[in-house]
Amino acid sequence: MATWALTRGLLGLRHVRGAAVKLSNSGHQFATASTVISPEPQTDSVRGEFLPANNVFMHDIFPKLQLKPVLTISDKILALPLEKQDPFRVSELFTVKDLFDARVHLGHKKGCRHRLMEPYLYNSSLDYDIIDLDKTAAHLRRALDVTAQTAYGGGIILFISRRRQFCHLVENTAKECGEYAHTRYWQGGLFTNAHVQYGRGVRLPDLVVFLSTLNNVFQQHVAIREAGKVNIPTVGVVDSNCNPSLITYPVPGNDDTPVAMELYCRLFKTTINRAKDKRKQMELLRSLSELSSSSS
Amino acid sequence: MINVPPLTPHRELETTGRNYFSWRAGSRLWRKNGANTVYHRPDDSPPRGKLTTRPYRLARAGSRCPFTLINLPVIPFQLYQTKQGNNNILTDKFTLISARKVRALALGHKIICSGDVHQLPPLTRLSSPKMAANSARVVGSLLRKSVNFVSSTRPVTLQFCRRICGTPALHRKNLGATGPEKFTAEFIQKQVEEFEIGKRHLANMMGEDPENFTQEDIDRSIAYLFPSGLFEKSARPLMKHPVEIFPKQRAVQWGPDGRPFHFLFYTGKQSYYSLMHDLYGRVLKVEKHQDQLRAKGLFPTEPKQIALGTSRWLTKEELEALLVEPISSQDYECFIQLMERLLTMPCCSLEQQFVMNHRRQLEAQSMHQVVPPLQKDDAGVDFSTAEGRRKTSKGSVVVRDCGAGRLTVNGQDYLHYFSVLQDREQLMFPLQFCGLLGRFDLDCSVSGGGRSSQAGALRLAISRALLSFLSQSEGEAMRQAGLLTPDPRVRERKKPGQEGARRKFTWKKR
């Protein structure tokens, strides 16, 4: 759809969308899921709740333009999850009680508190901040849904965490769900200077999941800024000492306790595996229906 | 390829036999006594770039240049001084083209000229990877019928393709930034095809069979066609298969859909980090095993250690070769630290195989003294042979257990050969040390060096030969006496600026 529009000479238009389509950014062409697989249809109304408010749509600028995309089989497959609410049933994966048992609500002390995290805090007891688990649950559901949508669409998901305790755990999680991980020293320019770092024609991740947004010296991870620069949506577990502003889908929660980290890893892994299985199922169904329709 | 059309001179080149010229810098051309001609740019525009003021000069014919002369017109375009300060593409060497090269060139082949390197383009290959990677290399000139020069009055038109040498990007040494896209699989494939075709051309040129043209033949032909007196062998023109010239590139790391194959691809150092991940996983596994044993109460008090033997860890270079990836020294140290940590654990013998894969056996440190075998000749007499060297002398001796005490050197009696007492003492010392003076017959042969070094060589040879007649302890005594140690001292070379090896010239205060 996006490529179709581009060929019509509307190159000047820039979209900033959530997880759907990535267009060229200041002349750099990054091969994205949408260009490799045929682009997703413009079903904004269903996904409206997930989109940031400052989006500009084609029909706003060109109200009389009739855009009739030709939907292929993959478009129909990709459209399926968009027609339902919570298509991957991520809300069944956890409850607020599970979050409490995994000590997700435990934040740092008042001195470490980040000003922008105050809306997500429930209270503080003896100067220890407590994160509001209702908000966490809602954000986590949204984040898992985005992850599932990306995995369903065949996108690349990159797990990032610079905590040495959980490096092995995160890498194993990534290996088990067939995605990618980066829990080591972040060389500057891995995204912004990708052609030099990796080689020509590399495909960058379509979603970056931060299981801890700080690096070893308690500063914001460089990858958050880099992902923002190259328009890659980010999901991040933000503790009470982290800055949630640049992260697309923040999930306020504890990132220090092993139990909490294991919970997050398990949740993300399950979601991604589910989404991929669903996709395989859909493709199988479609191919079977194709066969039967062609034979009959 | 950039073709600069030939700019004709305003005035014809006066040919008085002085047809050899050299490209020294060049801005404006000057005239002097009719010997040289003046050329100007057709439009007399002001010179661009940083110019030198040294003029052209036409050298005299018959100058001490062994090459045939080419009547090349002076191309009236400005030669710019590059940032490196050299005068540009066309160095002196280029114009001095030998007859042999010219013969090859006259067959219609082009020249690729860059510095000292002249090859048979466009199909043959370049001299060094740097040349290959340099995307701004100079391409060709077409030389038409330029064989007979000396009295030719007709200027030969020379089309030059020259490099645009303005941009700093081209002077950049870091070719890694521009490099990787050059060495794509298609590029290498193209180079291989060009190499094969060029090989056949070369074989035809040399009048040999193209089918059975081996690499040695290629080297020989190139050495013949482009003789180079450069001392640095790697700077000489060469023509090798592209696989040997271009560095090994890793295959593309992702599939047709763009998804990388390795889960740690985005770290940039996938092999190294996957090794570390694997290693840490093994550490955790060993810890878990230990915990299980402890829980059952079966924790061994004397755990079995890994038999390291005489082995060492892989060096950084060996690890890089194993991983096919460059690693930094910090990375290497982290790896060794984690390995050592694995070794400190009591139950580390679980991972013996893994650890030994990353260790190498040490070579034997000590050189055991090789005892020459004791042989028996036809008369039933025991004898042994040994050799020895000292400075530039080489000697060998046959020690016979006859009991006569005779010494023959090069057929002569030793008294005649070694007239100086000191030399004879040297020969006798091993026998005197072992107390076997009158027992053996020695048949020596020695060559090279002077009298003293010959004596030393023979002494070493005698000591070695005696080992086969002695016991272990006596042999050890000989070793400790220094009889079995070859003297490593050789003559030190004289250095320039000094009178000798160490002696300096007389210092004069004023």
Question: Closest Cα of chain B to A196: distance in Å?
Answer: 6
Range of the domain at B201: 188-245
Cβ-nearest to B177 among A174, A180, A196: A196
Please write the tens of the pLDDT for every residue from B141-154: 433 443 343 344 44
CA dihedral B475, B478, B483, B486 (to 10 degrees): 50
Residue B208 within a domain: yes
Contact B252 A199 (CB under 8 A): yes
User: Distance of CA B133 to CAs B86, B89, B245, B389, Å?
Assistant: 20, 17, 11, 49
Q: Could you tell me the residue range of the domain that residue A152 belongs to?
A: 86-104+135-285
The CA distance from A181 to the nearest CA of chain B, in Å, is 6
Q: Do A168 and B258 touch (CB under 8 A)?
A: no
- Counting the structural domains of chain A, the total is 1
Q: Do A22 and A32 contact (CB within 8 A), yes or no?
A: yes
Q: What is the rounded radius of gyration, in angstroms, for the C-alpha atoms of chain B?
A: 36
Whether residues B181 and A200 touch (CB distance < 8 A) is answered with yes
Q: Is B110 domain-assigned? A: no
Altogether, the residues listed in chain A come to a count of: 296
How near does any CA of chain B get to the CA of A61, in Å? 33
Which residues of B have a CB under 8 Å from any CB of A? 176-177, 180-181, 252-254, 257-260, 263-269, 273, 277, 280-281, 284
pLDDT value, residue B306: 85
Q: Is residue A22 situated within a structural domain?
A: no
Within a domain: residue A292? no
Assigned domain for A42 exists: no
Residue of B nearest to A35 (CA): B257
Q: Do B268 and A187 touch (CB under 8 A)?
A: yes
Chain A hits for B338, CB-CB cut-off 8 Å, are none
Angle between helices B99-106 and B215-225 (to 10 degrees): 110
What is the mean predicted confidence (pLDDT) over A198-207?
A: 91
| In-domain check, residue B369 | no
Same domain as B407, residue B343? no
* Residues 6 or more apart in contact with residue A196 via CB below 8 angstroms: A189, B176, B177
Q: pLDDT of A56-99, one tens digit each?
A: 666 666 666 555 555 566 677 777 777 788 889 999 999 999 99
Q: What is the pLDDT of residue B240?
A: 93
Task: For residues B385 and B460, state if they share a domain.
Answer: yes
Under an 8 Å CB criterion, which residues of A touch B? 31, 36-37, 154, 156, 158, 167-168, 171, 174-175, 178-182, 184, 187, 190, 196-203, 205
Q: Where are the alpha helices (DSSP H) in B351-420?
A: 352-357, 414-417
Question: Are A168 and B280 within 8 A, CB to CB?
Answer: yes
CA B179 to chain centroid: 23
Q: Which residue has the higher pLDDT, B239 or B169?
A: B239
**Number of separate domains in chain B:** 3
B254: which chain A residues are within 8 Å (Cβ-Cβ)? Answer: 202-203
Nearest to B266 among A154, A190, A199 (CB): A190
Strand B407-409 with B393-400, pairing:
unpaired
pLDDT at B366: 61
Q: If you average pLDDT over residues B36-65, what whole number do you get? A: 48
Higher pLDDT, A254 or B124: A254
Q: What is the pLDDT of residues A100-121, one digit of tens each?
A: 999 999 999 999 999 999 999 9
Nearest CA in chain A to B265: A180
Q: Which of B302, B332, B361 corresponds to the end of one domain?
A: B361
CA B25 to CA A293: how far, in whole Å?
79
CB-based contact B258 A154, cutoff 8 Å: no
Confidence of residue A218 (pLDDT cuts 50, 70, 90): very high
The rounded mean pLDDT for chain A is 82
pLDDT of residue B367 exceeding 60: yes
* CA distance to partner chain A, nearest, from residue B325 (Å): 13
Question: Taking CB atoms and an 8 Å cutoff, what residues of chain A touch B280?
Answer: 167-168
d(CA B165, CA B162): 9
- How close does chain B come to A75, measured CA to CA in Å? 17
Task: Name the more confident of A29 and B353.
Answer: B353
DSSP A152-164: HTT--EEEE---G
Side chain identity at B321, as an amino acid letter? Answer: A
Contact yes or no for B264 and A199 at CB 8 A: no
Helix (H) or strand (E) holding B445: strand B441-447
Q: How many CB atoms lie within 10 A of CB B74?
A: 20
At A54 the pLDDT is 58
Whether residue B22 has pLDDT greater than 60: no
- pLDDT at residue B53, rounded to an integer: 47
pLDDT at B168: 53
pLDDT, mean of residues B196-209: 93
Q: How many CB atoms lie within 10 A of CB B194?
A: 16
Q: Is residue B90 part of a domain?
A: no
Classify residue B28: in a domain, yes or no.
no
Is residue B222 in a domain? Answer: yes
Which whole number is the average pLDDT over B74-79? 38
Q: What are B391-435's pLDDT values in tens digits?
A: 999 999 999 998 888 999 999 999 999 999 999 999 999 999 999
Closest to A30 in 3D by CA, of A233, A202, A209: A202
What band does A191 get if pLDDT is binned at 50, 70 and 90?
very high
Q: How confident is the model at residue B129 (pLDDT cuts 50, 70, 90)?
A: very low
Under an 8 A CB cutoff, do A180 and B265 touch?
yes
Is the pTM above the cut of 0.90? no
Other CB atoms within 10 Å distance of the CB of residue B505? 9
Q: Do A171 and B264 touch (CB under 8 A)?
A: yes
Task: Give the closest-approach CA distance of B297 to chain A in angstroms.
Answer: 28
CATH number of domain containing A212: 3.40.50.10490
**Cα distance between residue B227 and residue B223, in whole Å:** 5
Which residues of chain B does A180 touch, with a Cβ-Cβ cutoff of 8 Å?
A: 260, 263-266
Q: Is residue B37 part of a domain?
A: no
Same domain, B384 and B466: yes
* Alpha helical stretches, state H, B361-492: 414-417, 421-434, 451-466, 472-481
- Does residue B13 have a pLDDT over 60? no
For residue B14, pLDDT over 80 is answered with no
Residue B397 lies in a domain: yes
C-alpha distance from B267 to closest chain A C-alpha (Å)? 6
Q: Is residue A281 part of a domain?
A: yes
pLDDT reading at B247 higher than 80: no
Q: What is the pLDDT of residue B277?
A: 97
Q: Is there a cis peptide before residue B122, judged by omega within 30 degrees of 0?
A: yes
Q: Note whether A202 contacts B273, CB cutoff 8 Å.
A: no
Is residue B322 domain-shared with residue B410, that is, in the same domain? no
Test A198 with B268 for CB contact under 8 angstroms.
Answer: yes
